[in-house]
Amino acid sequence: MNLFWREMKANRKSLIIWGIGLLFMVVAGMAKYEGYSSSGQSINELISQMPKSLQAIIGTGDLDLSTAIGFYGMLFYYLLLMAAIHALMLGANIIAKEERDKTAEFLMAKPISRTRIISSKLLAALVNVVIFNLVTLVLSLAMVSHYQQTGEQLDDIYLLMAGMFLVQLIFLAVGAVIAAVGKRPKRAAALGTVLLLLTYLLSIAVDLNEKIEWLQYVTPFKYFEAKRVLADGTLETTFVAITIVVVTILIAITYHFYQKRDLQI
């Protein structure tokens, strides 16, 4: 339990900074909605008939930017990216930092098993991710309801946040696995970043060409896209299932490898 609180405290500052970033992003982003002149029904309709690749280049996709929730959907892309970066860094650093800061000997000499160390650390990371998610949720609800026109549904925000949480879990687990399995803990965050950039760019490439649509299973950024979630009103079961399986496997690997890890001191 001490370890858990220690980790919570160690991550407090960065969580606060991220929270301020989120506040800025959501408040300033939604404030732009007021100034956003909707391009009118006919253009919206026209855009919706465009091939998907062209929609992607124009940048709006088939979100209806004239509604507050549609506009929020666009903002959600960037919130998702922020959440993924946060989760990945957290997952990788929370495990790798002991070796990086040369505190591994101190920690490992304590009378607790490695399994418990990992459990406490992952739990602390999970709580951080949940707080990140809740902050986003509260800010989003407040801002979208402030700007919404009457009769718009806000339930979709809960759904989007659920999707974001699942993506956060994936990246958290990916970060943890890289740090636990990789030989050089210092490279963990860097390697994770490469992976994150790769999947992010891949998600854009998938938008540009329908022939490589199967790649959407590889990149978590495509799992719970705002445009699809808002159109369907639900998270796709396939992707939820993939997330659960992937996260479980990654966490299991983390535990397994950290048990036998040769610490770099």
Partner 1 sequence: MNIFLHELKDNRKSTIIWTLSLVAVVVLFMALFPSIAKDSEAFKKVLENYPESLRKAIGMSLDSITSLLGFYSYVFTYVVLCGAIQAMNLGVSMLSKETREKTADFLLTKPVTRTQIVTAKLLAAVVSLILSNLVVIMAALVAAQAVSERSFDTKAFLLISLTAFFVECMFLALGILISVLVPKIKSVLPLSLGTVFGFFILNMFGSVIGDKAVRYLTPFKYYDPGYISKHQTYEIRFIVIEVIFIIVAVTASYFIYAKKDIHAV
Q: How far apart are CA 238 and CA 251, in angstroms?
A: 20
Q: How far apart are CA 260 and CA 238, in angstroms?
A: 34
Q: How far apart are CA 67 and CA 73, in angstroms?
A: 10
Identify the residue whose tokens are 């998907």.
52
Binding mask 197-216 toward partner 1 (x if CB under 8 A, else -) reads x---x--xx--xx-x-----
- The alpha carbon of residue 211 and the mean position of all alpha carbons in its chain are separated, in whole angstroms, by 26
Work out whether 218 is an interface residue with partner 1 (CB under 8 A): no
**CA separation (Å) from 197 to 25, 206, 218, 223, 243?**
20, 14, 13, 16, 19
Identify the residue whose tokens are 């992976």.
195
Work out whether 263 is an interface residue with partner 1 (CB under 8 A): no
Shortest distance, CB of residue 37 to partner 1, whole angstroms?
9
Here the tokens at position 43 are 């253009």
> Given the rule CB under 8 A, which of 76-84, 116-124, 214-222, 227-235 is the region that contacts partner 1?
76-84
Shortest distance, CB of residue 22 to partner 1, whole angstroms?
11
The single-letter code of the amino acid at 216 is Q
Is the CB of 108 or the CB of 195 nearer to partner 1? Answer: 195
Is the CB of 54 or the CB of 112 nearer to partner 1? Answer: 54
Phi, psi (degrees; rounded to nearest 5) at 213 = -60, -30
Residue 59 exposed, middle or buried by CB count within 10 Å (0-12, 13-18, 19+): exposed
Work out whether 50 is an interface residue with partner 1 (CB under 8 A): yes
Is the CB of 80 or the CB of 235 nearer to partner 1? Answer: 80
Name residues contacting partner 1, limited to 7-26 (CB under 8 A): 14, 17, 21, 25
Work out whether 74 is an interface residue with partner 1 (CB under 8 A): yes
Work out whether 29 is an interface residue with partner 1 (CB under 8 A): yes
> Given the rule CB under 8 A, which of 50-58, 125-133, 149-157, 257-265 is the region that contacts partner 1?
50-58
Is the CB of 198 or the CB of 252 nearer to partner 1? Answer: 198
Is the CB of 33 or the CB of 165 nearer to partner 1? Answer: 33
Name residues contacting partner 1, limited to 142-201 (CB under 8 A): 189-190, 193-194, 197, 201
Contact with partner 1 (CB under 8 A): which of 9, 32, 110, 184?
32
Positive or negative, the CA dihedral 76, 224, 54, 48 is negative
- Closest CA relative to residue 221, chosen from 143, 182, 163, 175: 163
Q: Check if the beta carbon of residue 85 is closer than 8 Å to that of residue 196.
A: yes
Residues within the interface to partner 1 (CB under 8 A): 14, 17, 21, 25, 29, 32, 35-36, 42-43, 46, 49-51, 53-54, 57-60, 74-75, 78, 81-82, 85, 89, 93, 97, 100-101, 189-190, 193-194, 197, 201, 204-205, 208-209, 211
